[in-house]
Amino acid sequence: MLLPSELNAAYGPLVRRIEAEATVIGDEILKIDHFLNHRIEPAFIVELGRELARRLSAYHPTLILTAEASGIAPGLVVAQLLNVPLVYAKKYSPDVESPALSRLIPSATKGGHTRLVLSQRYVPAGSRVVLVDDFLSNGHTAVALADMALEAGAQVLGAGFIVDKRFRRGREAVEARGVPVAALAQVERLEHGRVFLVQPAE
């Protein structure tokens, strides 16, 4: 099992791109959607997924769990490399086969609330679940996924994120569920149009 410092070591290629290319809006919004979650660069997302899979492999998951839509690309890469299924909670067409599990979560970026829905059929009791998503911000999505998996009788063994916005304190909410967190880049703060990372590029 990797130590917390190894789970969260800055992944150089990602950190360098964030420092060079990210758009910062105010002191809350970091936009790297030109390569991560709107326009996706396949080779780079595979590289990032490979590094996440390496860090999460020690949990020996039997299922990767994420949320629609931005978590699907990294989740799929991790699932493929670990040779396990990917299940994603639906947001945009939340009709699923019953019995259904659901959580209502506040949306930090869009305002209001979003409902996440998951068919219990696809998270069998006893599953060894690892969560994967693009961003960890306030932790509402990750906590909702973890709670639904636990309600289904699964174990939630770890969670992996491309970017952790540490100043939003989502990590604490996830770790309070007993779920260790891995992240490839950690943002300490956003200020005056700049990104300050916990471990900047060397």
Average pLDDT, the chain: 94
Res 102 pLDDT > 80: yes
Give the chain as a 3 state SS string.
CCCHHHHCCCCHHHHHHHHHHCEEECCCEEECCCCCCCCCCHHHHHHHHHHHHHHHHHHCCCEEEEECCCCHHHHHHHHHHHCCCEEEEECCCCCCCCCEEEEEEECCCCCCEEEEEEEHHHCCCCCEEEEEEEEECCCHHHHHHHHHHHHCCCEEEEEEEEEEEHHHCHHHHHHCCCCCEEEEEEEEEEECCEEEECCCCC
Average pLDDT over residues 7-29: 95
**The predicted structure's pLDDT at residue 1:** 78
> To which residue do tokens 């059929």 refer?
121
pLDDT digits (tens, 9 = 90+) for 116-163: 999 999 999 999 999 999 999 999 999 999 999 999 999 999 999 999
Indicate the domain borders of the chain. Answer: 4-197
How many residues in the chain?
202
Q: Domain 4-197's class?
A: alpha beta
Residue with the bigger pLDDT between 83 and 92: it is: 83
pLDDT digits (tens, 9 = 90+) for 40-60: 999 999 999 999 999 999 999
Structure tokens that stand for 182 in this block: 């891995």
Q: How far apart (Å, rounded) are the C-alpha atoms in residues 16 and 107?
A: 29
Res 174 pLDDT > 90: yes
